[in-house]
Amino acid sequence: MAPLPARLILSLQLLTMLFGSGCSTRFRDAEDRETAPAQREFDFFKLSLLWPGTECRHTLHCCSANACCRSSSPTEFTIHGLWADYNDGTWPACCEGSQFNESEISTLLGDLTKYWPTYQCGSSSTCHRSKGPFWAHEVFKLQLNVFLIDVIQYTT
């Protein structure tokens, strides 16, 4: 497997160091059941990867956003998500803060499209039952967008 570009790796590492608190806590066995807001630091990050061969086998609809439908579809593991977790089985989700702004990550879009692609068409669910771009799902739910401008400035 080819190594991830240094800039993307550095971005992921910086996100792990800069992750904010102020999120509600969710239980893994009840996807939409939230507890009272928790102001605590997470215990670890979980990096989830996808094998595109398996993911693309289930593709029913093609669109330009779906990595399976591109002429250069992924042939190596890709990032599915980078999530903060607590040792007790809960995790921070739907953090409050500014809305996702794709222009803030414009310098990373090439790397994100290659190494952290979406395998779907249409909008992804974000917090509070709203819809948005794929990366808004990952970024807004975890409140990583607050730090993206600093990460981009640091890595460029």
Within-domain flag for 136: yes
- What mean pLDDT comes out for the span 25-37? 46
pLDDT at site 98: 58
The residue ranges of DSSP E strands in the chain, in sequence order, are 23-27, 34-38, 44-50, 78-85, 90-93, 124-125, 131-132
Domain tally, the chain: 1
pLDDT in tens, 57-86: 988 889 888 999 988 889 999 988 877 788
pLDDT in tens, 112-133: 888 989 888 877 776 656 666 7
Within-domain flag for 1: no
**Residue 76 and residue 32 in contact, taking contact as beta carbons nearer than 8 Å:** no
Within-domain flag for 79: yes
Beta-carbon count within 10 A of 29 CB:
7
DSSP state for residue 85 in the 8-state scheme: E
Residue in 9, 14, 2, 12 with CA at minimum distance from that of residue 154: 14
To the nearest whole percent, how much of the chain has pLDDT over 90?
10
Tokens of 69: 């439908």
pLDDT band of residue 147 (cuts 50, 70, 90) is very low
pLDDT band of residue 3 (cuts 50, 70, 90) is low
Question: What is the domain extent for residue 73?
Answer: 6-155
CATH of the domain at 91: 3.90.730.10
pLDDT at site 52: 93
Which parts of 39-108 fold into alpha helices (H)? 52-57
Residue in 1, 76, 14 with CA at minimum distance from that of residue 45: 14
b/e string for 36-65 if b means 16 or more Cβ within 10 A? eebeeebeeeeeeebebeebbeeeeeeeeb
